Structure 1
Amino acid sequence: MKRIITTLVILVIVIGGIAYVLGGNKKKNQEKTDFVAKGNGSIAVNVAMVSKTVPELDFNVNGTFIPNKELNFLSENAGRVKAVYVEEGARVSKGQVLARIDAEIINTDRETAEAAYQNALKDEARYQSSYATGGVTQQQLDQAKLTTKNARLRLQASSRRLSDANIKSPINGIVNKKYIEVGSFVTAQGTQLFELVDVSKLKLKVNVNESQVANLKVGDKVAIQSTVYPDEQFTGKISFIAAKADGALNFPIEIEVANNIKNSLRAGMYGTAVFDFPKQASSILIPRTSFVGSVSSNQVFVLDKASNTAKIRKVVSGRILGEKVEILSGLTEGETVITSGQINLVDNTPVSIVK
């Protein structure tokens, strides 16, 4: 019995709480309705004056320098490191020998492959001579030729491995990290040997929004500033513009920057890209919120001052410049557009301006 009474009490409390919340929500909604529909049934709106202004396209954006080329150099042969010729921080040229793998076993394999190839050539010559006199069949001759071809390929592979015993730099750059020492054993599966970076040119990676990326194209020159070297002047060129925005609706951009003679700039430093555009002609700009639904609708409400009503107007929009939108046609200076409350409006709806 007590359990039933307790359950009933709980139900009464819950129902009372729900009724209280619903009553509060109803009161708040009524207040909003009273605010929107105040004064003779007119809709409360915000407005903005239509005027011509000069669009400001210039902007700065910060980013991080990355190397023009970065390579994690891996081993291609198994063996023990016999010599290392460079240290971390050393500048190296393409083709320069960085280290050497003990080539004794590799050299033995090459000599064996060379002997097998020479023996296959002699056998092929004998089969060719015998075939001319009918001593062997065409099939036997073809087999001898195939043996010679396979022997040649093995010799080429052995020669390549012997050449790779001298580990050479594939790029011009700087040894950023060295992972091996004399006596280290490396495998053919790809032991990491060196990390090489080329900072003679760098790339400044930045992100821009949709209104900014619309005015950029690959090849545009950009002034670059560095807080570490404020007196140095750097120039870059846009080398990449992403075709798709990232999760934050920004577009990644890469700017190729030529380093100075001393290669002062380093990968990982911060830089600022200064986008400077020619002065623009004045044009009509209105708030982005003026559009019914979205900018793509190309519809706005204009205030008819004589009757204090909202008139639907078809316009042609141009560039989106931040929170402003360029209007190519459909509006003239001196008119007033409605910037809020459009959801409650239809053509000729009475409105009152919120002061």
Structure 2
Amino acid sequence: MKRIIIVIVVIVVALGAIAYVLTNNKKKNEAKTAFIAEGGGAVAVRIASVEKKVVDLDFVANGNFAPKQELNFLSENAGRVTKIYVDEGDKVTKGQALARLDAEIINTDRATAEATYQNAVRDEARYQSSFQTGGVTKQQLDQAKLTTKNAKLRLQASQRKLSDANIKSPINGIVNKRYIEVGAFVTAQGTQLFELVDVSKLKLKVNVNESQVASLKVGDQISIKSTIFPTEKFSGKITFIAPKADATLNFPIEVEVTNNSKNSLRAGMYGTAVFSFPKQAPSILIPRTSFVGSVSSNQVFVYDKSNNTSKLRKVVPGRILGDNVEILGGLNEGESVITSGQINLAEGTAVSIVK
């Protein structure tokens, strides 16, 4: 008995759900019928007037400042650190000594290379003298010359290492981090010594969309603003425009920014690039939704006021400016384009304007 009651309840619930769905579908169909009826049997559409508007191309884009030049400075020679001349936060110039390695081993290598070279020079002189008297062959003389040349190269390399005992900065910048202490041993395999950052010039990385990137080119001068320093004026120059959009269909842009004399801007801060353009002449703009299918179709329906019908029109689209499209030819001011309901239209279809 209990099972029968459960079956009856399930059937009643199912019938109720079916009745609800049918009622809901009926309401939707009635709404569609009412919408069509509003046009008196004609296809109900919405329209927009064709008119000239001033195109404002100015826009802003936000991003983060990054140093134009930064370097993780690595060791080239092995040795023990005997002196450190700079600390974190210090300004350094290219060629300035940052630290010094124990030069004892390097000096020994250089002295050995010097002695080897001098010995090779003497041997070459003896071979040259003997060759003139027929004591040695031309091959033996050439070998002596090659030995001298190799010894000279080893001496030059050891002298370079001795010079590199003074670790010098390869760039102008600021010591952001110091990784070594006096007494630490560094290897020739590349022990990290310093992180150097140059913020006299920075890069502001921003993203722009397809309609904005079309108006930009490398070398354009840009005004830069910082919320941290609202009274300061900074300028920048576009140095890179990505040839390919990223996953969000935006184009990465890099703007080189000149810092002020105090280097107020720091890497990692937020910045705003202000892209300004000359005032544009008024252009005919229509909503993007006016096109049949997509902008690439180059077709729109024009509303014929004389007999309330749709007329298919071929147009020449220009720039896509947000939700609007510039029209270069095919439309005149004062006409009206149909912006919705095109899927039900054909040439000469009767239409009714829905407000």
TM-score normalized with structure 1 length: 0.89
Secondary structure at the counterpart of residue 130 of structure 1:
helix
Shift of 1:24: 8.7
Q: Which residue of 1 aligns with 2:200?
A: 200
Residues paired across the two proteins, number: 348
Match of 1:109 in 2: 109
Amino acid aligned to 1:306: S
- Distance in structure 1 (CA, Å) of the matches to 2:124 and 2:72: 45
**Structure 1 equivalent of residue 50 of structure 2:** 50
Aligned to 2:174: 174
* Amino acid across the alignment from 1:325: V
Deviates more, 1:99-108 or 1:116-125: 116-125
CA 1:119–1:49: 2 relative to 1, 3 Å: same
Q: Does residue 258 of structure 1 match 2:283?
A: no
Give the Cα separation in 2 of the matches to 1:210 and 1:181.
51
**Deviation at residue 332 of structure 1 after TM alignment:** 0.6
Distance in 2 separating the partners of 1:343 and 1:130: 103
Tell me if the contact between 1:75 and 1:193 (Cα under 8 Å) persists in the aligned partners: yes
Distance in 2, matches of 1:50 and 1:293, equals: 19
The 8 Å contact of residues 40 and 352 in structure 2, kept in 1 or not, is answered as no
Cα distance in structure 2, aligned partners of 1:219 and 1:231: 25
Counterparts of 1:294 and 1:280, CA distance in 2: 26
Asked if structure 2 preserves the Cα contact closer than 8 Å seen for 1:81 and 1:102, the reply is yes
1:238 aligns with 2:238: yes
Task: Give secondary structure in 2 for the equivalent of 1:268.
Answer: coil
Q: In structure 1, how many angstroms separate the alpha carbons of the residues matched to 2:27 and 2:103?
A: 85
1:158/1:282 Cα in 2 relative to 1: closer, same or farther (>3 Å)?
same
Q: Distance in 2 between matches of 1:149 and 1:22?
A: 96
Alignment of 1:204-215 (within 5 A): 204-215=204-215
Match of 1:123 in 2: 123
Secondary structure of 2:157's match? Answer: helix
**Could you tell me how far 1:44 is from its partner in structure 2?**
2.8
Describe how 1:53-202 pairs up with structure 2 within 5 A.
Answer: 53-202=53-202
Give the C-alpha shift of residue 57 in structure 1.
Answer: 1.2
Which residues of 2 match residues 298-337 of structure 1 at below 5 A?
A: 298-337=298-337
Alpha-carbon distance, 1:124 to partner: 1.9
Contact 2:210 2:250 in 1 (8 A): yes
* Mapped partners of 2:30, 2:192: distance in 1: 70
Mean Cα displacement is larger for which, 236-245 or 36-45?
36-45
- Distance change (3 Å), C-alpha of 1:155 and 1:50: same
TM-superposed deviation, 1:55:
0.7
Aligned partner of 1:297 in structure 2 is 297
Amino acid corresponding to residue 274 of structure 2 in structure 1: V
Aligned to 1:339, the other structure's residue is in SS state strand
Secondary structure of 1:144's counterpart equals: helix
Contact 1:67 1:197 in 2 (8 A): yes
Extract unaligned runs of 5+ from structure 1.
Answer: 1-11
**1:110-167 Cα shifts (integer Å, max 9, x gaps):** 1111111221222222222222332222322222222222222222221222221111
Work out the CA distance in 2 between the residues paired with 1:20 and 1:81.
Answer: 87
Paired amino acid for 1:332: N
Q: Distance in 2 between matches of 1:251 and 1:279?
A: 24
> How much has 1:26 moved relative to structure 2?
7.0
Q: Is residue 35–residue 44 contact of structure 1 (8 Å, CA) maintained in 2?
A: no
1:28-62 residue CA offsets vs partner (Å, 9 max, x unmatched): 88568647755565333222111111111111222
Distance change >3 Å, CA 280–CA 124, structure 1 → 2: same
Q: Could you say if the C-alpha distance between residues 148 and 35 of structure 1 is closer, same or farther in structure 2, counting changes exceeding 3 Å? A: farther
Residue deviations 1:72-125, cap 9 Å, x none? 111111111111100111010100000011111111111111111221222222
Counterparts of 1:118 and 1:184, CA distance in 2? 35
The verdict on how the C-alpha distance between 1:160 and 1:28 changes in structure 2, with shifts beyond 3 A counting, is: farther
What runs of 5+ residues in structure 2 fail to find an aligned partner?
1-10
For the aligned residue pairs, the C-alpha RMSD in angstroms reads: 2.8
Distance 1:28 1:294 in 2: 32
Cα offset for 1:175? 0.6
Identical amino acids, percent of aligned pairs: 73
Q: 1:126 to 1:31 in 2, by over 3 A?
A: farther
Which residue identity lines up with residue 240 of structure 1 in the other structure? F
The one-letter code matched in structure 2 to 1:56 is D
Contact 1:36 1:43 in 2 (8 A): no
Distance 1:137 1:229, change over 3 A: same
Residue in 2 that maps onto 1:5? none
Partner of 1:281: 281
Once the two structures are overlaid, the 10-residue window that deviates more, 149-158 or 31-40, is 31-40
Deviation at 1:289, TM superposition (A): 1.5
